[in-house]
Amino acid sequence: MPKKKKSEGPEYILHIVPAFVEREQKYKTQFTLETTKLFASFRYDISVKEQREKNRVRYKILGLKPPELSLPAAGRAQFTRTYDDMRGKYDVEIEGLDGRVNTFSVRIAPTRIQLLKAPAGGFVDVVVAKVPSTTL
């Protein structure tokens, strides 16, 4: 009989942040998916197949890939995408390597992100920022 995989908490964290881009003088929405695991040698990139249609964003995790710059650095593996035209309610779906899917509902305004629905005990945790960032 195959052993069940122990649930050890989430494997990924999805940060959704409103960000003000000073050089363009407009707000954008930044999604950053990162592993909860820290890597000692490199900050890997997460390879993701991305789909966006109307009020739905879908990320399928394909695996990890080495960083473009191979300078040694410790940290979490990441995938970041920035959108400049998101307003309203969105469903965000993340599919893991094993086919599991977590779906979240968020409401996006230029300066605020609100988490409406999240699965309990999923492999992805969502963190939404209450205030805009100016880091882009």
pTM to 2 decimal places: 0.86
pLDDT digit string, tens, across residues 10-66: 999 999 999 888 888 889 999 999 999 998 887 899 999 999 999 999 999 999 998
Angle at 82 between CA 78 and CA 88, to 5 degrees: 120
pLDDT of residue 88: 96
pLDDT at site 93: 98
Cβ proximity of 87 and 26 under 8 Å: no
The whole-number pLDDT of residue 4 equals 47
